[in-house]
Amino acid sequence: MSVPAAFDYHPVQTVDEAIALLQQYGDEAKILAGGHSLLPAMKLRLSQPEHLIDIGKVDGLSYIRQEHDAIAVGALTTYVTLLHSDLLRQNFPILIEGTELIGDQQVRNRGTIGGSIAHSDPAADMPGIVLALKAHTTIQGPAGKRTILADDFFIDTFTTALEAEELVTEIRFPLLPAHSGSAYEKLENKASHYAVAGCAAIVTLDANGTCQAASIAITGAATTTARAKATEAALVGKKLTGSVIEEAASHAADGLTMIADLHGSEEYRRQMATVITRRAITRALSRASK
């Protein structure tokens, strides 16, 4: 059985305490939230932090509440808590259906929204949903708080805009305009349920049923979660007929660096991204039209 390298364990009660320890130990320290990405990586010795800063008992980092025209979610909110939220269910069905597809019950009991986006695994589901919903991430560090749009947060595989001494404290989802529909689709790895190719799609229609705005994010298939800008451009200003959606979806992988591994070649993933994107847009449209 694989076991992690030795480390010192630091349970903290406040965000400030966590930041002070990050300042003290720098690259040798890692934040521990749900542990469902970090601990497997440590057991495989892919990650060997000398200091683990456990934020699991920090008060005030697990909440879901409406604030003006957005819904704010604390970084430590677990997937299972997201699934029980009527506020999220009413406003962001995409967030609920995407979360339902994450891992298994144990993973959903422990995994946190903040941990998922901080980890920035290209095969994870939450980053694509956060990106498509144009969420803002609140980050706290020694210099105080700053807020970053999801477009600027996900940089590359396992790389975000987070600095070493910062942590994610909140993800803020702006409410969608009227006549918007959203959907999440993925082709999953049958063992882990991670995305081999996934798509988070949001479309907004005007009074005539023409697509006014589209936000499409691809997960799993490429080296980082990314917006499919060419697909979005091919939807906006048009009536979303089957052929328009099909043509737009054929651009899902444009500009992305596709992954090739034992779950699929680059070509396979490109094709699957197209198929999954077509399905996600079609379902998002049916919800927008209701």
Nearer to ligand FAD, 168 or 285 (CB): 168
Of the candidate residues 193, 213, 230, 266, the single one contacting ligand FAD (CB under 6 A): 193
Of the candidate residues 15, 37, 187, 251, the single one contacting ligand FAD (CB under 6 A): 37
Question: What are residue 64's DSSP bridge partners?
Answer: 73
Of the candidate residues 12, 15, 95, 103, the single one contacting ligand FAD (CB under 6 A): 103
Of the candidate residues 25, 36, 85, 216, the single one contacting ligand FAD (CB under 6 A): 36
Nearer to ligand FAD, 37 or 212 (CB): 37
Of the candidate residues 19, 34, 82, 205, the single one contacting ligand FAD (CB under 6 A): 34
Residue 139 has which token pair? Answer: 């980050």
If one asks whether residue 102 binds ligand FAD (CB under 6 A), the answer comes out as: yes
Listed ranges 142-150, 189-197, 199-207, 259-267: which one lies at the site for ligand FAD (CB under 6 A) = 189-197
Cα–chain-centroid distance for residue 281? 18
Of the candidate residues 25, 92, 173, 194, the single one contacting ligand FAD (CB under 6 A): 194
Listed ranges 2-10, 30-38, 255-263, 277-285: which one lies at the site for ligand FAD (CB under 6 A) = 30-38
Rounded to a whole number of angstroms, the minimum distance from the CB of residue 256 to ligand FAD is 18
If one asks whether residue 134 binds ligand FAD (CB under 6 A), the answer comes out as: no
Q: Which of 166, 174, 15, 188 is nearest to 107 (CA)?
A: 188
If one asks whether residue 264 binds ligand FAD (CB under 6 A), the answer comes out as: no
If one asks whether residue 220 binds ligand FAD (CB under 6 A), the answer comes out as: no
Nearer to ligand FAD, 251 or 269 (CB): 269
- 3-class SS string, the chain: CCCCCCCEEEECCCHHHHHHHHHHHHHHEEEECCCCCHHHHHHCCCCCCCEEEECCCCCCCCCEEEECCEEEEECCCEHHHHHCCHHHHHHCHHHHHHHHCCCCHHHHHHCEHHHHHHHCCCCCCHHHHHHHCCCEEEEEECCEEEEEEHHHHEEECCEECCCCCCEEEEEEEECCCCCEEEEEEEEECCCCCCEEEEEEEEEEECCCCEEEEEEEEEECCECCCEECHHHHHHHCCCECCHHHHHHHHCCCCCCCCECCECCECHHHHHHHHHHHHHHHHHHHHHHHCC
If one asks whether residue 82 binds ligand FAD (CB under 6 A), the answer comes out as: no
Of the candidate residues 42, 64, 73, 167, the single one contacting ligand FAD (CB under 6 A): 167
Rounded to a whole number of angstroms, the minimum distance from the CB of residue 276 to ligand FAD is 14
If one asks whether residue 75 binds ligand FAD (CB under 6 A), the answer comes out as: yes
Instruction: Report the interface residues with ligand FAD, using CB under 6 A.
Output: 30-38, 40, 75, 102-103, 107, 110-112, 114-116, 118-119, 121, 124-126, 162, 167-168, 192-194
